[in-house]
Chains A and B, each alone.
Chain A
Amino acid sequence: MADEAKGGGLVIKPMDQFEVKPLFGGSEIGMFTITNVTLWMALAVLAVVLMLVVGTRGRAVIPSRAQSVAEMVYGFVYNMVVDVAGKDAVKYFPYIMTLFVFILFSNFLGLIPLSFTTTSHIAVTAVLALAVFITVTAIGFIKNGASFLSLFWVSSAPLPLRPILAIIEVISYFVRPVSHSIRLAGNMMAGHAVIKVFAGFAAVVAVAPLSIVAVTAIYGLEVLVSAIQAYVFTILTCVYLKDALHPHH
């Protein structure tokens, strides 16, 4: 992506990797155009199927390696749902698991050089976060009726403070989907852009060794960030779900 410009200046285009491009020619991107988004999401589906379906086809009581990985992920998310959101949130576990494995594999697949990171796009994370926000709000009102609003009325605070706190609570509630989505997209985009910038410097002989070391280090960090952001997105979903199921502080 980096090349020596005619004038000798270094041109680095760290954002090119995020471009949505049609896979089979053409420049129009319609709703149903098959793009690199389609390809990398399909690969994420494939990875999920490989891990959770193909890996567990033995159904062995003594698991194979692949099966124990699948069981580990299952146990990890299941315990997260139960610990954070409570036993009655278990019926939403498949959806939370879907979010977790989709984000996890999208993040990891995005770390493959020359790949496309679907979760670095605000369009993707915003839809995921809005879906969680709307679903959780609906669940809150369906399960608790009007008493769901007590989430915003901090009964443990002194009475004069409560209206002020209520305003703050309402604002923070509606900011949730924004922070929820930008946190994920921002982390993924920033990390990939930084790697690309350092990779661009590798074209300059003087700083190439340093830049390669930096790319390696940041790549390692990004592996961590990929897993952590998937975890953070999922656990926040559980926290919001807990608020919807048990709105009383």
Chain B
Amino acid sequence: MATEATVADAASKPGMPQLDFSTFPNQIFWLVVTIVVIYLVLSRVALPRIGAVLAERAGTITNDLAAAEDLKQRAVEAEEAYNKALAEARAEAQKIAAETKASIQADLDKELAKADAEIAARAAESEKAIAEIRDSAVESVKTVATETAAELVSALGGKADDKAVAAAIAEQMKG
């Protein structure tokens, strides 16, 4: 370097300002003032404030995580409750269906039995009526026969003996 000599020359003339001891008290005094001021500002204001903010943030994050975990737990519980309710509802529905079916079956059976009984009663009644009609017919035939026989006997000039006619009619009816 061509300028080395001039640089050295320029530096050597006043010497290094760093080694000018007459400025040391001044520098040291202001340094101590500066350091004390910065230390007081940091230790009284800045560091407690930043520390508190960081602690608060850490606390908030922890709380939020815990809350999220709690909510997740509750969601799982809600799902379980929902599934349980669904299963219960299904079972209930099946039970109701079965009961309804059973009660309908019972009603049906009862109605059928009642209908059967009625049919039987009606049939018996009808049989009775038919029997009555037949009996009355037989009686009518007997009366008509008796009367006809009596008329026939009297018409033939005989004297109709009621007892004999009745006996004869009974005799004929048997046959």
Q: How many residues of B contact A (CB 8 A)?
A: 43
Q: How many residues of A contact B (CB 8 A)?
A: 57
Q: Of the candidates B7, B33, B42, B57, which one forms a contact with A97 in the assembled complex, judged by CB atoms under 8 Å apart?
A: B42
**Is residue B49 contacting chain A, with contact meaning CB distance below 8 A?**
yes
**Is residue B172 contacting chain A, with contact meaning CB distance below 8 A?**
no
By beta carbon, the residue of chain B nearest A75 is: B54
**Is residue A70 contacting chain B, with contact meaning CB distance below 8 A?**
yes
CB distance B18 to A121 under 8 Å? yes
A147 CB, min distance to chain B CBs, angstroms = 30
Q: How many A-B residue pairs have CB under 8 A?
A: 144
Chain B 112-134: CB-based contact to A (< 8 A → 1; otherwise 0): 00000000000000000000000
By beta carbon, the residue of chain A nearest B46 is: A52
Chain B 20-49: CB-based contact to A (< 8 A → 1; otherwise 0): 101111111111111101110111011101
CB distance B23 to A14 under 8 Å? no
- Residues of chain B contacted by A122 (CB below 8 angstroms): 18-19
- Residues of chain A contacted by B41 (CB below 8 angstroms): 45, 48-49, 52-53
Interface of B is mostly: helix
Seen from chain A, the residues whose Cβ lies within 8 Å of a Cβ on chain B are: 9-16, 18-20, 29-33, 35, 37-38, 41-42, 44-45, 48-49, 52-53, 56, 59-61, 63, 67, 70-71, 74-75, 93-95, 97-98, 101-102, 118, 120-124, 127-128, 185, 189, 197, 200-201
Seen from chain B, the residues whose Cβ lies within 8 Å of a Cβ on chain A are: 3, 6-7, 10-11, 14, 16-20, 22-35, 37-39, 41-43, 45-47, 49-54, 56-57, 60
